[in-house]
Amino acid sequence: MKTFSPRPRDIERHWYVVDADGAVLGRLATEVAAILRGKHKPIFAPHADTGDHVIVINAKGVRLTGAKEESKVAYRHSGYPGGLSAVGYDRLMAQRPAFVVEKAVRGMLPKNRLGRAMARKLMVYPGPEHPHAAQKPQPLALGSIPPWTGLPEPMEPKAAPKREPAAATAGPKGRGGSSRPAGKKAIPGRTGATRTRTSPAKSTAKSAAKSPAKSATKSTAKSSRTSRGSAKKTTSTKSSATASEGTKTTRGSRGKQESE
């Protein structure tokens, strides 16, 4: 279930005329504010202006309950120090009855640019006449919900895009755009040049092919080392033998000289 959000094409604006003669100010303002916001529609959203236009006539017939007409005060400030002014509702009802209704309705709308846009759809007139006959407004009694038949069209689910099957012979393309062979696999986690791994059968064949050559080279190296060692031993023994013979000859010559 998706959350519905109203779009401009889903909003239909209607015009309604409300007679305020003999109505209580607070009750009148609540119903008018609900129509301006669009809370009577099933597509209502607090972030959108889905309401209708409202024309209030006979604003001078609005009444206030209790002693509010004598005790209630409307305040206004000019923005400068000491610029506060206060006007009683008894005076406002006699001089500006339309302002009384507008002030009550504005107080029930959002305090932002959305609320100001809603307040522009409100037209208040002190008498029974209004200049909006071209819009063909419909009369609306207080306490009744205005009808609305502009339901949005059902949202159809979007079809998923079809994916084309990948080619079996050619693998995915790398960074340079060249495709890798199908028999080689890329090492995961590498973003640069792709390294390849050969299959275990190929690796065993390569090792078997290389093993006799390696064994032959190892045997020749060992034999050369042993021959070198034996040659060194023979030369050392020969040198020791010649040295012993030289000492013997020198000793024999010395003995002959002494005897003479």
Identify the burial level of 148 via C-beta atoms within 10 angstroms of its C-beta, where 0-12 means exposed, 13-18 middle and 19 or more buried.
middle
Q: What percent of the chain has a predicted confidence (pLDDT) above 90? A: 50
Radius of gyration of the chain (CA): 54
Asked, for residue 49, whether it belongs to a domain, the answer is yes
pLDDT value of position 201: 58
Q: What does the block give as tokens for 171?
A: 């693998």
The more confident residue out of 42 and 206 is 42
| DSSP character string of 81-100 | TT-EEEEEHHHHHHH-HHHH
pLDDT value of position 4: 84
Distance CA 185, CA 197 (A): 6
Asked, for residue 201, whether it belongs to a domain, the answer is no
Look up residue 187 and give its amino acid.
I
Q: Residue 102: pLDDT above 80?
A: yes
Q: What is the pTM of this model?
A: 0.58
What is the crossing angle of helices 25-37 and 97-106, to 10°?
Answer: 60
pLDDT, tens digit (0-9, with 9 covering 90-100), for 32-79: 999 999 999 999 999 999 999 999 999 999 999 999 999 999 999 999
Distances (CA, A) of 50 to 2, 56, 114, 208: 20, 19, 11, 82
Average pLDDT over residues 213-229: 61
pLDDT, tens digit (0-9, with 9 covering 90-100), for 113-164: 999 999 999 999 999 999 999 999 999 999 998 887 776 555 455 566 777 7
> How many structural domains compose the chain?
1
Domain holding 103, by residue range, is 11-63+93-139
Distance CA 63, CA 109 (A): 21
Asked, for residue 164, whether it belongs to a domain, the answer is no
CATH code where residue 43 lies? 3.90.1180.10
Q: Which of the listed ranges 11-15, 213-217, 245-249 does the model predict with the highest average pLDDT?
A: 11-15
Distances (CA, A) of 48 to 106, 114, 117, 195, 206: 17, 8, 10, 57, 74
Q: What does the block give as tokens for 117?
A: 């846009």
Asked, for residue 82, whether it belongs to a domain, the answer is no
Q: Which residues contact 70 (CB under 8 A, 6 or more apart)?
A: 88, 89, 90
Look up residue 148 and give its amino acid.
W
Residue the block writes with tokens 């020969």: 238
- Beta strand 196-197 with 73-77 is unpaired
Burial 21-38 (b: 16+ CB within 10 A, else e): eebebeebbebbbbbbbb
Residue the block writes with tokens 């305020």: 20
The strand pairing partners of 76, in sequence order, are 85
Asked, for residue 28, whether it belongs to a domain, the answer is yes
